[in-house]
Structure formats: structure tokens, C-alpha cells
Amino acid sequence: MSKIDHKIDAHDRTLSWVLEKKKYIVDYFQREYSWEQKHIEQLISDLTISFLNEYTDGDSREDGANYNNYYMGPFVISEKNGTRSIIDGQQRLTSLTLLLIYINNLQKELGLNEDIKDMIFSELRGAKSFNIQVEERTACLQNLFDKGEYTPNDDDDESTINMTNRYINIEECFPDEIKGKLLSFFIDWLKENVILVEIVAYSDENAYTIFETMNDRGLNLTPTEMLKGFLLSRFYDIKTRVKANNMWKESMQTLHDYDKDEDQRFIQSWLRAKYADTIRQGKQGSQNEDFEKIGTRFHNWVRENLSKVALNENDSETFTRFINQDFKFYLKAYLMIMVASNELQSDLEHIYYIDDWGIATSLSYPLLLAPLNPDDSDVTIKSKMNLVAKYIEAFVVRRSINYKKFASSSIRYTMYTLVKEIRGKTTEEIREILTAKLQSMPEVWDNMNKFGMHGQNKKFIKFLLSRISSYVDKQAGINTNYNSYFRPEGKQFEIEHIWANKYERHKNEFDQKTDFEVFRNRMGDLVLLPRGTNQSYGNKEYKDKHKHYVKENLLVQSLTPLAYENNPNFLNMIKSTKLPFKAHEEFKKSDIEDRQALYLSICKYIWGNL
């Protein structure tokens, strides 16, 4: 191996230096893009809050040269023969590329033209090539860049699907207050003040050694570690300090089993839930307050707000209580949330549902923890958290059927204010507060009557049909649940149109094909069928389809007359609930409307009351 092979360079680089007119490849076994919604939300929150903390209303763009930098940490590349291969940091660089594509599309809407295209792709003789070169992702990136959306194909890999979903998350959580004149300031800051440490090795062997060292043995002085150091330094009894330190380390390992940053999400959620009092106003020039500061530098926030967290510099007992009582209690509750997000449990079922269709975890987790008190029993803890989760679920379903977004940028002030309102309350007090919130929502249930499917809400449609189908089954004593439809172990369920895509069959009811297509996508024309069954029924007329529906789940069966014969559990359910089920010998426009009204009634049963 030559001397140059042993060489390693490390430099601070601006984001513009890292991406502008650069080309990177990704080794095959490093290609998976696996970031989840919580990771992209944290990235956008960290970047935008850090920028807004620097910007002051009235600043000129030249003033941005004096803004503080934001350090994103290192990335590792191997450089050989002029080719730069990303060894570590692909997740962040891909996510930043998606953010830049979103910002570029946002510019078009706002009539701006800041030059960031070279950070996304370069062009030679009319041919674009993206700066992070992974062939399987090219179509996705091209569509996101050109149209701001991409519909995954059946043969797309998991990374491409993740990229599509994370782009949607960026759209949802990018704050409204930066979508006006501040966008140019933010672009300047993103290009020149976001700093990464570029570590370049000139052999793959050295590059992977650096990667392994950083990930396995490197000292990572995170905000969590700095908070622990501060808190334990106030323990005057050595044995008590050692015991608390061991408990802390074991707790962090438990959290890291979920995600390497789960410790930080826990502490942010806990401090926001129980101690944050102020929030930045959603207008230009506003300063970061408790909720934002906890989100970026919670270790500093605790040191600066000892009285808020009931800590006394001169009283070691307050620090002992904070770790041995409060920390342990809220960690236990947080771990209940983590388990309930991954396993459908009857006493915390709504936490599972909002993990599939809910608000950002940066908003939902503080809400779930806010009403808890350290002397609450496990039964009380679960009762409170499930009640809050059911409110969140009802809130997002109501918003969704009214075609309203519930991005964190648009509801953060409302939700963080609610955190304070339910903080430490009893179960009945929570129910009263949240019921009043639902009753005052401007998004009414009756708009379900015109709700339908479009290109961007298919996941919600499947979620809604899964909840409705499993609810009907349960009321009729059938042993299925939400997972039976949304993520079954065997054959997957797909959304089935009852009407085939054959306009000519319905010309007597529709003058225009577009009107037919709108009605065909109405909720009342949709059911869930197993994959394969869905395809075999696809183009048949209803008179040929519905005789087969009797073999499917109860919600589908209910279309057929046979479902109402010799089915006492189903008939008793209809009698007790008064839900407007009826058989449909034919399926015309009015039948879709009737079916839509049935779905509306079921939704009110599921989410109408807390």
C-alpha cells in the first residue's frame, strides 16, 4: 500500500462545498436509505429552529454572514482515482438532497430563483445526473425535482419508497414562517452556515476503519451525556452517584435498542411534557422559547431553568429526586409508548394507530406524557395515554377527511398549548378538555359525505378502511383486528373499487367522464380485498362481482343480500348500533352515496366520543 493510501484528510466543509457540482457514489451494501419520519422531522426541526434563532426581523441578507454555524457532524468518504464513495453519512446527505429539492420546488411557487440546482444535480450536454448517484433512485429524484411528487412502482426498492415518503414529510413539517421572504435567508444560511466535517480516506480499508471507530468506539458527547454529567455532578454521595449513573447507562441502552437517537427524543418529550411553558410565536422575528430550546439544546435549557424543573443548586436531594423518581417514572411511561407503537395492545391501542396515522412524534409524545404524575398507577398511566392518543387519532382523521393537512408546522402552537392544558390532569379532566377540543373543531364529520381517494392519500384510505373493517368485525364478534387488514402476515389487502374503470357502463348517470371518475373514487365505492382477489374482480360488472363478495370480510359481505340471512351476530350488531347497513342488488350513484353515509356513521361510532 502506498503512502497516499494511508493518508487521511479532515476538513470543515459548508453544505454548498459538500454538494455543489460534486459527484458521490454509494457502495452497494451501503445503499439502503432507511430514515423514518421521526428522523426527517428532527432534521428539519433542528435546522429551521437553529436558523430562526439567528434571524432577527429587519436583517439584511448581508447580516447572515454573522449568523452562527450549525454543525452536522462528520461524513466519511473513500476517494480513489477521482471517484468519491460515501462510506458514512449517506442518510444525512440523501435527506439534505431531498430538502434541497423541496426548497427548489417551493421557490417556484414563491417566484424566487436562488441558485441551488448545482447542489442537487449537474448537467452535461443536456443530461442531468444527480450528485449522489444511485441508479435505482434516479426516476424518483427526477420526478420529485420536476413535479414535486413521485408514485412508487411495484418494483421500486424500499429505499426509493422511503425517499418518497420522507419528501412528503418534509412538505408537511417545513415551517410556514420560512415560506415567504425568509426563504432566501434560509437558503443562504443552509448553503454557508451548515457545516459538516469531511473525512477523506484514500483506501476503502482506511475508510471503513474510520467508520467502525466512529460508530463503535468513538466518544459521542451528546446533549444527553452533557445533561447526565451536570445532574450527577450535584450528587454529593458517591455511592448514590454511582448507582444513578449505572441506572442512567442501562436506561440509555434500552432506548438505543429502538434507535441511536431515542434517548434524545425521550428527554425532549419529557421536558416539553412537564416543564416547558413558552413557545415561539409563528411569525417572522420571533425568538425561540422553551419548546424550541428543549428541541435543540436541552442540556443548556435545564441548567438555565433550574426553578422550572424544581432543582436547587444547593440541595442535592432535588437532583436525586429528579433522576431516581421523575426520570425513572417518565422513562417507564415512554417505554410503554415505544412498545405500544410496535405492538397492538388493547389498553393502549390508539397509540398503535397514531403510529401509522398521526401527528409528528415531537408533538404526540409530549402530549402523551403531559397528564402523567409520578404517583399514577400503571392502569392510570395507560388510561390517560390511550385517551390522549384517541383524541390525536380523531383529530387527524377529521382533518384528513376534510383534506386538511396536520403538518407539525401548522399545528405545533395548538398542540404545545394543549400540552400545558392537560399537564398533570386527572383522566376525567382530560376527557372533558379533549372532548371540548373535538367539538370546537371546524373540520366537521359531515364532509365525509364527499370524501374520496386521490393520488396522495392512499395510505390514509387503507388506514381508514382497515379501522372501519376491523371495527365492524369486532362488533359482530369476529376475531380480527386492525392488523388483519393493514399489515396481515399473509396475503396483503388492497383498495378495491366496486365500480370498474368503465365510464361507458355509467353514461346514463354521468354526462362527463371526469364526474364519473370523481364518484368512482368516493369512499363509498371502496373496500379492502386480498391481493389477487382484487385483481380477479377488477373489471367485472357489479352484478358479477357481488355474488363473490359474500366470501370476503364482513364490511364487503354487507353489500350482498346473503350477509343478512342466517347471520345473527351481524343482525344484532345492526340492531344495537342502528348503523345504516343494507344490501345492494345493484350499485349505482345513489348506492355509493348510501355507502358513504354508512362509512360516515361508522366513523362517528369509532371517533365521535372519547
Tens digits of residue pLDDT in 44-57: 988 998 898 899 88
Query: What is the C-alpha separation between 555 and 465, in angstroms, rounded?
Result: 9
Q: Are residues 243 and 232 in contact, defined by beta-carbon separation less than 8 angstroms?
A: no
Segment holding 163, helix H or strand E: helix 158-173
* 204 pLDDT tier (thresholds 50, 70, 90): low
Cell readout for 475 is 362488533
Average pLDDT, the chain: 90
pLDDT per residue as tens digits for the range 97-113: 999 999 999 998 899 98
Interval 413-421 mean pLDDT = 94
85 phi/psi in degrees, rounded to 5 = -110, 130
Spatial separation of the C-alpha atoms in residues 600 and 238, rounded to whole Å: 62
- pLDDT of 216 higher than 60: no
Q: Is 408 exposed, middle or buried (0-12, 13-18, 19+ CB in 10 A)?
A: buried
pLDDT of residue 530: 92
Stretch among 161-175, 317-331, 346-360 having the lowest mean pLDDT: 161-175
Higher pLDDT: 127 or 135? It is 135
> If you compute the radius of gyration of the chain from its CA atoms, what whole number of angstroms results?
27
Q: For residue 154, which phi and psi values (nearest 5 degrees)?
A: -60, -30
Q: Of 37-51, 478-492, 528-542, where does mean pLDDT reach its minimum?
A: 528-542
**Residue 425 DSSP SS3:** coil
For residue 347, the model assigns a pLDDT of 96
For residue 595, pLDDT beyond 90? yes
DSSP state of 522: B
By residue count, the chain amounts to 610
Residue 411 contacts residue 359 (beta carbons within 8 Å): yes
Q: How confident is the model at residue 221 (pLDDT cuts 50, 70, 90)?
A: low
Beta-carbon count within 10 A of 141 CB: 24
3 state DSSP class of 407: coil
Residues with Cβ < 8 Å from 22, sequence gap 6 or more? 84, 131
Q: Where are the alpha helices (DSSP H) in 259-377?
A: 262-274, 290-304, 316-321, 328-342, 349-356, 361-369
Q: Which helix (DSSP H) or strand (DSSP E) does residue 73 occupy?
A: strand 70-80
Q: Measure the CA–CA gap between 516 and 510, rounded to whole angstroms.
A: 6
Mean pLDDT of 277-282: 85
The arithmetic mean of pLDDT across residues 392-396, rounded, is 97
pLDDT over 90 (residue 474): yes
Quick check: 217 pLDDT over 50?
no
Q: Which residues of 445-475 are buried (b: 16+ CB within 10 A; e: fewer)?
A: beebeebbbeeebeebbbbbbbbbbbbbbeb
**Are 93 and 18 within 8 A, CB to CB?**
yes
Could you identify the residue written with the cell 441578507?
A: 61
Are the C-beta atoms of residues 427 and 384 closer than 8 Å to each other? yes
Q: DSSP strand E in 94-146: where?
A: 121-124, 127-130, 132-133
Give me the mean pLDDT over the 132-157 stretch. Answer: 88
Spatial distance between the Cα atoms of 394 and 434, rounded to a whole number of angstroms: 10
Q: What is the mean pLDDT of residues 218-229?
A: 76
**pLDDT for 3:** 43
Cα 289 from Cα 70, distance rounded (Å): 18
Lowest-confidence pick of 52-66, 471-485, 531-545: 531-545
CA angle 100, 104, 108 (to 5 degrees): 165
Question: What span, in angstroms and rounded, lies between the C-alpha atoms of 561 and 440?
Answer: 40
C-alpha grid cell for residue 67? 449568523
- pLDDT at residue 524, rounded to an integer: 97
Q: Which amino acid is located at 573 in the chain?
A: M
- Which 3 state secondary structure label does DSSP give 228? helix
Dist CA 9 CA 6 (whole Å)? 10
Determine the Cα–Cα distance for residues 281 and 286; give it in Å rounded to an integer. Answer: 6
The SS3 call for residue 307 is coil
The single residue listed with the C-alpha cell 365505492 is 525
Highest mean pLDDT among 72-81, 141-150, 153-162, 345-354: 345-354
The percent of residues above 90 in pLDDT, for the chain, comes to 65
Give yes or no for residue 4 having a pLDDT over 60.
no
Q: How far apart are CA 425 and CA 447, in angstroms?
A: 33
The domains of the chain are located at: 3-217, 223-443, 451-607
pLDDT of residue 433: 98
pLDDT exceeds cutoff 90 at 119: yes
Give the pLDDT band of residue 479 (cuts 50, 70, 90): very high
Helix (H, G, I), strand (E, B) or coil at 25: strand
Residue 366 identity (one-letter amino acid) = P
Q: Map grid coordinates 457514489 to a residue.
A: 25
| pLDDT reading at 322 higher than 70 | yes
pLDDT tens for 573-587 read 999 999 999 999 999
Residue 283 pLDDT:
67
